[in-house]
Structures are given as structure tokens and as C-alpha cells.
Amino acid sequence: MSTVVLIGAQWGDEGKGKVTDYLAEKAEIVVRYAGGNNAGHTVVVGDQTFQLHLIPSGILYADKPCIVGNGTVIDPEVLLDELEGLKNRGISIKNLRISPKAHVIMPYHRIIDAADEKSKGTKKIGTTGRGIGPAYSDKASRVGIRVTDLIDEENFPLLLKGALEEKNRLLRDYYGIPEMDYNTILKDYQKYAADLKQYVEDISVLVEEAIKEDKNILFEGAQGTLLDLDHGTYPYVTSSHPIAASACLGTGIGPTRINRVAGVAKAYVTRVGSGPFPTELFDNTGDYIRKQGHEYGTTTGRPRRCGWFDAVVARYSARVNGLDYLAVTKLDVLTGLDTIKICTGYKYRGEVISEFPCGRDALKDCEPCYEEFSGWKDDISLVRNYQELPDNAKKYLERVSEVSGVPVGIIGVGPKRDQTIILKEMY
């Protein structure tokens, strides 16, 4: 048996959906441990495309328990919509389990998210507007509403009343926007509670039991390392912990239970929202990558900022996650480029640094130092065996692995399940 944590090694959108889907096939349980419906995982099965925001990709396999951990924040309306969408496409959702300790995104969280971004003006974070930050703020401030509260018929109305009084003061007196109506929210959320109650179970017990039974468990990360609240490019981060350590916290198991950590990195880098991005491309190559890679947000539709592979980021990610393997996705997107670059270090205040800086403004003053590689023209989307890749693609990957300090275990050459080259089995 093995427990594998799969995380995003860049700024999110690394193509984790496809890799988790691949790994989910061999897993017996799939667990999502952090984030909310700010995430968007695209999974292509045959000629069908699924876009999942909160539900683990394992749901596409009928026989696997799929767990939404306590580290997530749940918008019940969105979750129920997602479940309905899956049901309508013939996917069984009976194996879904939701932690009673997960926090609930309330309608005022979404309103506050938007109002807060507006008030920040040019300093806005560029959030997904899903209420993620305000929901996690309430959790940390100990005024949040959890799933266990939502399904508690007696207490929920009282908790909502208390919370809404405070939020309405904030909306009215600080943001100058209309108050929200208690009865409307109560009615909607009582309905959501009734629909979700059947899936709620202490998932820490479930996962620990599965570990004792020697099952393969996949912990599916959302977002990416550089969006981590502690280890990301603060303040341009999300409000949760996408890194591997969070799999324990967001599930309720101990660190000794994790066997392996794999990081997903695109063969280039993208970022959505604001914040520094040293290898960002503002030229035709950036446009080419965006077009070839369909780099538009799954959740918001926003065009993603595109740039060269950044090995400083990859090494950092290897350190803070303890990466055993890299899954390099979307290698096919680079096909057709004459030259491809890898950033191996940053020039900062006249010196070359090789470690990712900590300072709030340091990254925006970092200039990338590049190594250049010749590209390849052959279509690689049908390649399933490493040896059959063009020599230049192999040279590129070998250098990616060398400068990142992590062996490459999986290579993605297209969006479909089988467009994958496996070098190392993860379980």
C-alpha cells in the first residue's frame, strides 16, 4: 500500500486534474484536502470533458470513496450543482464523503470577497471571487460555520443569526453596500443541508482505517505551492495551504502516514491573478503558449499569464513539499518553438541567487537567468514511450530534472488520460 500526495509545484493550473485522474485509477480512495471552488480540474475521459471544482477526480471511477477533507471550504450550492451535473452525465456520486469539520462558504463571503478586492484598487489580489479568503478568515477568527453546524437543525439558525448580524454591520458601515436577508439565506442553506447531510462522515476515521487496511490512497492537492498562504508569494496567494504538509492537517492524519509526494509542473509556467512572475513572457512566444495550451482559467475564464519553466520555483517546491517525483505536463504545447528556455537562477541586486526569495517585493526585482535549448517540430502527442520523444525534448526534460533536483516520473503529451508517458509508478 502507498499513500501519495499530489501537489501543484507552481502557481496552480499545472494540469493536476489529468495526473490525479491517472493516479486515481490505481488508488482505492481519493481525498481532496484544501481549497474550495476556486480550483478547477479538467479531466478528459474518452470524448468527454469534466470540469471539477471541489469534488475529487476519483469520482469518475464508480468504485472509489471520494473524500472532501476538513481543510477545504465548501460552497454548498456549487457542490450540489457539481453533483447534479455529474449525476446527469451518468456518474455515480454515492461514494462521496464530506468532513463535518470543513468550513462552509456563505453568501456574505462572496460579497465581501468582491467588495474587498474593489477596495484594494490596483493592489487587488485578483481572487477568483468565490468567497475563499473571507471563509478562511472566519475559520481563523473562530467565527466560521462548519458542515457539522450546517446540518445541525437546532443550532444553525442561531449561528447564522449571530454571524449575519456582524457581517451586515460590516457590509453597511464599512463597505457601504446593502445588508443581506437572514430568512433568504436560512431557507437556502436549510435546503442545502438536507441535500448534503447523507454524505457527511468523520473522514479522519475513514482514512486512518484505509491506511490500516493497506489501501492505496491519493491525496489530491488544489492550487499550487506558490499560492500557499505561508510559502507562496504572499500576499498574492490563496488563503489555504496547497502544499503537501496540508494533506495531514486537512484530513486529520499524522505525517508518518504519508509515503510519497509528487509535484505537478507544466513544461512552462502560468499564473492567473496579480503578483510577481519572473519568467513571464509578454511577446509572441507567450501568446503562442497561451493559444497552444488553451491557457484560460477553468473557474473564471481569465487568460493566464505564460512564461518559461522556472527551476528556482521547482527547487523551492521540491524543498517545501519534499518532492519525490515531478510530473511534467503539457510538454506537447512547446512543440513548434525554435528555442525553449529554462530559468536556472535569478539576478537580484547584482548577484545571482539560486534560492527562492522570501521578501514581499524581492521577487518582482528578480531577473531570470536563462539556459537556451533547441526546440522540436515533431508531433509528440502520440508518443507513449520516453525513448520515442525527439532528442531535443529528451534533452530539455533531462535538464528540467537536473536543475529542479527531482526525477521526472510522469510526462504529459496531451489532455487525454492515455496521452501520458510513465517513467515511475507512484504506488
**What binding mask, one character per residue, do residues 30-69 give for ligand IMP by CB under 6 A, x or -?**
--------xxx-----------------------------
Applying the rule CB under 6 A, the residues between 216 and 235 that interact with ligand IMP are: 222-223, 227
Residue 72 in contact with ligand IMP, rule: CB under 6 A: no
Applying the rule CB under 6 A, the residues between 356 and 395 that interact with ligand IMP are: none
Residue 21 in contact with ligand IMP, rule: CB under 6 A: no
Q: Report the residue from 85, 100, 126, 276 that binds ligand IMP according to the rule CB under 6 A.
A: 126
Q: Report the residue from 57, 239, 246, 321 that binds ligand IMP according to the rule CB under 6 A.
A: 239
In SS3 terms, the chain reads as: CCEEEEEECCCCCCCHHHHHHHHHHHCCEEEECCECCCCCEEEEECCEEEEECCCCHHHHCCCCCEEECCCEEECHHHHHHHHHHHHHCCCCCCCEEECCCCEECCHHHHHHHHHHHHHHHHHCCCCCCCCHHHHHHHHHCCCCCEHHHHCCCCCHHHHHHHHHHHHHHHHHHHHCCCCCCHHHHHHHHHHHHHHHHHHECCHHHHHHHHHHCCCCEEEECCCCHHHCCCCCCCCCCCCCCCCCCHHHHCCCCCHHHCCEEEEEEECCEEECCCCCCCCECCCHHHHHHHHHCCCECCCCCCECEEECEEHHHHHHHHHHHCCCEEEEECHHHHCCCCEEEEEEEEEECCEEECCCCCCCCCHHHCEEEEEEEECCCCCCCCCCCHHHCCHHHHHHHHHHHHHHCCCEEEEECCCECCCEEECCCCC
Residue 95 in contact with ligand IMP, rule: CB under 6 A: no
Q: Which stretch binds ligand IMP (CB under 6 A): 103-111, 121-129, 248-256, 283-291?
A: 121-129
Residue 13 in contact with ligand IMP, rule: CB under 6 A: yes
Residue 246 in contact with ligand IMP, rule: CB under 6 A: no
Q: Report the residue from 125, 160, 210, 400 that binds ligand IMP according to the rule CB under 6 A.
A: 125
Q: Report the residue from 238, 285, 321, 419 that binds ligand IMP according to the rule CB under 6 A.
A: 238
By Cβ distance, which residue is nearest to ligand IMP? 273
Q: Report the residue from 3, 57, 95, 127 that binds ligand IMP according to the rule CB under 6 A.
A: 127
Question: To the nearest whole angstrom, how small is the minimum distance from the Cβ of residue 243 to ligand IMP?
Answer: 14
Residue 132 in contact with ligand IMP, rule: CB under 6 A: yes
Enzyme catalytic residues: 13, 41
Contacts with ligand IMP, residue ranges (CB under 6 A): 12-13, 38-40, 125-128, 130, 132-133, 222-223, 227, 236, 238-239, 272-273
